[in-house]
Structure 1
Amino acid sequence: MTAFDPGIHALRRERFMEQLGAAAAVIPAAALTTHHADCEWPFRQDSDFFYLTGFDEPDAVALLLPHRPEGERFVLFVQPKDPAAEVWTGFRWGTEGALERYGADLAHPLDQLQEKLSGYLNGAEAIAFRIGRHPAVEPLVLAAWGRQLDMYARSGEAAFGLVAPTPILHRLRLRKDPHELARLRDACRISAEAHELAREMTRPGMRESEVQAAIESHFRASGARGPAYGSIVAGGDNACVLHYTANTAPLQDGDLLLIDAGCSVEDYYNGDITRTFPVNGRFSAEQRELYSLVLAAQESAIEMVRPGGTAENVHNTALRTLVEGLVDLGLLVGDPDGLIERGDYRHLYMHRTGHWLGLDVHDVGAYRLGERPAELETGFVLTVEPGLYISDRLAVPEGQPEIDDRWKGIGIRIEDDVAVTDQGHEVLTHIAQKSLAAMES
């Protein structure tokens, strides 16, 4: 558990408003979502809203107003204190808490948003709001903007553009500050510990669900909120289904177990780790060959993580290692350059090698800037996760060899979370072992 620090969010708001110019931003919180009947999913705050405010209650709206005077630039609309409601659904900070704990300049009950929004937006040159994501708030924003446009002939003031806040906000979120890196290290440590626990306990005859239960129990016992995403615990051929989450099958002697699982800590930063190991503690010859290849691809790709590098280069490095190795094993035939250009490897490796990581598991930020890939910078965090999935689910490309049965049902992925540093990189998930020897220990 980490102590709440309102200064961190205040600094983020300051940076955000500096880049907004004279635009006014409307940033809604997440709403509760129905699971079934009158039961709701556990609440998960909108990441953009949380990044700027730290406020962790549903049905709130933040206004960031750089065009207003000091003392009026951060406004929160929140659910008011209501003892009767809190008996049923829990504590609320209310408007007083929004001011005293969360540093709002002004705070109002949420039901006053429609009445007050136009006044706060007056004088802004544009309105920054993400269309299509917040159905309860969007009509209020559009109506307030419409009233400004209707009154322009008399007032001479109106916001003449509706712009997305996300390009600015997501550039800020892509570069992690020291606090964020510390929280990501916590998430990665807890996640890695769970993977070590899982490998130690796994035996033939157990069910995937037993391993999942142990992993997720460790998350909660260590102070995390729980899984960052649906845990994948996939034995044997199930590992060839990339997003397998049934986790119900028995673990067979002679199969591999692929576990893709990570936790989300209290303030939503995430770990995302994949490890693959033999259920009985010993690789078969084919499993060993493929595991060694995936590990070599991952290690070569991690070496490409450095300032000035690119996520595309990380992927291309892993891909070339995999394709060259598959040619050596006879699972592909031909020149590696041609195989890569034609995509003739995609029945064996069908995903990219990684993604940004942060408040979201698949975190925000551009991978390309027009025609060129975005360069890695200090503070960026990404996963590096090559894999191979040998099955007959996808057709073998014309000219490529049919897959011998001895290879089928082997699915392997190795994934680490890697931060870009001034000196190169830091593997945040290093506690989770991955060497051949460790996987057989």
Structure 2
Amino acid sequence: MASPPPIDAAAYAERRGRFLHRLGGVAAVIPASSLATHHADVEHAFRQNSDFWYLTGFDEPGAVALFLPHCPEHPFVLFVEPRDPTAEVWNGFRWGCEGAVERFGADRAHPIAELPQRLADYLKGAEGIAFRVGRHPAVEPLVLQAWAHQLDRAPRTGSAALGLVAPCPMLHELRLRKSPEELERLREAARISAEAHELARRVTRPGLLERQVQAVIEQHFLERGARGAAYGSIVAGGDNACVLHYTANAAELRDGDLLLIDAGCSLGDYYNGDITRTFPVGGRFSAEQRTLYELVLAAQEAAVAVVRPEATAEQVHDTAVRVLVEGLLELGLLRGSADSVIEQGAYRHLYMHRTGHWLGLDVHDVGAYRLGEHPVALEPGMVLTVEPGLYVSDRLPVPEGQPAIEERWKGIGIRIEDDVAVTEQGHEVLTAAALKAPAAMER
């Protein structure tokens, strides 16, 4: 199966057009990420700011993009590191100002060193300035200085930007609804991630270290052309699975334990997969493990079935919680009525997280879940994870009135997670190639 091509320049131009339209008369300043020091003079692998990437597709650090709807002759301006043979010998190729125009569609491009001198002129005439304060310490003083200069001159010029606003709400609303091209990239990330999970299950056996399974997964990501892991892979055997963000991945896998793997790849253009599967290390569930696994799977399938236009992420979560609570009451792990347990949150020592999150350029992608008192309705093009779980351990106290946990249940951690796109007809499970039926988990 051929991989879908990366998103092309025309798609980025279309995104910029929609963003500029949303801005009205407000100018936006969107900085790229900067390099972050790992230790001494060594930097972490560069990861572009997702908002900057969404609008530009430009994958170099230290750049700044201006979006200027009040300047129709040059609405998109990039400030970038210029070409420099000496720097490129050490750190690799740069597109420079020429590439910013010819390859990335900037109407104008300047060396980043010229931003302090040029920014105020570019912002002149804007009705407001859209900039995310508190995130970009090198750029923020320049934006505030340019705005302050406008305010100081307002009595003479008769005009100034009326305020500083966050670009996030309008930009993140655009990012929440994926285009057909974005959905293709997410399908590709899901496909590679699902292949890695299937491979991991085949190689897992007692005696391996968790990190050996991690290595198999992440090697597959790289061999299939992904950038790498989308987040710190969780490979958690036995009781380690009851630690939600366990990433040590150093323990030996034991026969009789379950292995929870939460891992997904990130493509070269940053679209991500995010899958969790849980299966027995030795190939067979114990009676208790299978009982809880089937309960989590029932909750997950019921929650996935809710995903459709006009439903909400809150309904997805509530559905999963209801199935889990009713099942735990039947097993004697909870006591009382389902309604009272849910209302009091008396299940949260066994299930303490939400059932999903948006997925896209960020693993926990941007976009509101609620607008005031109203949950956001799902629409075609939105993509979310659906990931209920159960984590039975002594880490959290049992709520008053709930039964003590019998030893036979302790140390069982299970999560099942899929990536689900909302469609006109209902939904599409992007990660269906990663099996999850109980029989498929055994060998």
TM-score w.r.t. length of structure 2: 0.99
Listed as ranges, the matches of 1:144-223 within 5 Å are: 144-223=146-225
Q: Which runs of 5+ in 2 are unaligned?
A: none
Q: Following the alignment from structure 1 to structure 2, what is the Cα–Cα distance between the partners of residues 408 and 4?
A: 47
- Partner residue in 1 for 2:80: 78
- 1:64 to 2:98 alignment: no
Q: What are the superposed Cα offsets for residues 173-223 of structure 1, whole Å, 9 maximum, x if unpaired?
A: 000001100000000000000000000000011110100000000000000
Work out whether residues 7 and 181 of structure 2, in 8 Å CA contact, stay in contact via their aligned partners in 1: no
> Structure 1 residue 327 and structure 2 residue 329: aligned?
yes
CA distance in structure 1 between the aligned counterparts of 2:221 and 2:189, rounded to whole angstroms: 9
Following superposition of structure 1 onto structure 2, how do residues 27-38 of structure 1 map, counting pairs within 5 Å? 27-38=30-41
Distance, in Å, in 1 between the alignment partners of 2:123 and 2:412 is: 58
Query: Is this contact kept in 1: 2:274–2:418, CA < 8 A?
Result: yes
| Alpha-carbon distance in 2 for matches of 1:69, 1:53 | 18
Q: 1:262 to 1:3 in 2, by over 3 A?
A: closer
Matched, 1:282 2:284: yes
Is 2:101 the partner of 1:103?
Answer: no
1:425 maps to 427
Q: d(CA) in 1 for partners of 2:79 and 2:139?
A: 12
Q: How does 1:335-374 map to 2 (within 5 A)?
A: 335-374=337-376
Superposed CA RMSD in Å reads: 0.7
Q: What aligned pairs does 1:238-253 form with structure 2 within 5 A after superposition?
A: 238-253=240-255
Q: 1:266 & 1:350 partners in 2: Cα distance? A: 33
Query: What is the SS of the residue equivalent to 1:406?
Result: helix
Aligned-partner residue type, residue 191 of structure 1:
S
2:185 corresponds to which letter in structure 1? Answer: R
What is the letter of the counterpart of residue 175 of structure 1?
R
Deviation string 1:30-79 (CA, Å, 9 cap, x unpaired) is: 00000111110000000000000000000000000001123x10000000
Cα distance in 1 between the residues matched to 2:135 and 2:94:
24
Does 2:387 match 1:379? no
Counterparts of 1:137 and 1:186 in 2: how far apart (Å)? 35
Contact 2:389 2:414 in 1 (8 A): yes
SS in 1 for 2:216: helix
Q: Which amino acid aligns with 2:39?
A: H
Q: Structure 1: which 4+ aligned runs deviate by more than 2 Å?
A: 1-4
* Aligned equivalent of 2:51, options 48, 52, 59: 48
Paired residue total? 440
Aligned mates of 1:56, 1:41 — CA distance in 2? 15
Unaligned runs of 5+ in 1: none
Which whole-Å CA distance do the structure 1 matches of 2:355 and 2:338 have between them? 18
Deviation at 1:4? 5.4
Inter-partner Cα distance in structure 1 for 2:180 and 2:328: 40
1:154 Cα offset (Å): 1.0
Aligned to 1:234: 236
Report the Cα distance in structure 1 between the residues aligned to 2:245 and 2:180, rounded to whole angstroms.
32
Q: Secondary structure at the match of 1:417?
A: strand
Equivalent-residue separation in structure 2 for 1:437 and 1:253 (angstroms): 18
Q: Provide the secondary structure at the position in 2 that maps to 1:130.
A: coil
| Secondary structure, aligned partner of 2:408 | coil
CA distance in 1, matches of 2:22, 2:228: 35
**1:341-365 C-alpha deviation (Å, 9 max, x unpaired):** 0010000000000000000000000
1 CA distance for matches of 2:66 and 2:128?
Answer: 13
Aligned partners of 2:7 and 2:182 also within 8 Å: no
Task: State the alpha-carbon separation in 1 of the partners of residues 6 and 415 from structure 2.
Answer: 35
- After superposition, residues 273-312 of structure 1 pair within 5 angstroms as 273-312=275-314
* Alpha-carbon distance in structure 1 between the residues aligned to 2:255 and 2:120: 66
- The secondary structure found in structure 1 opposite 2:141 is helix
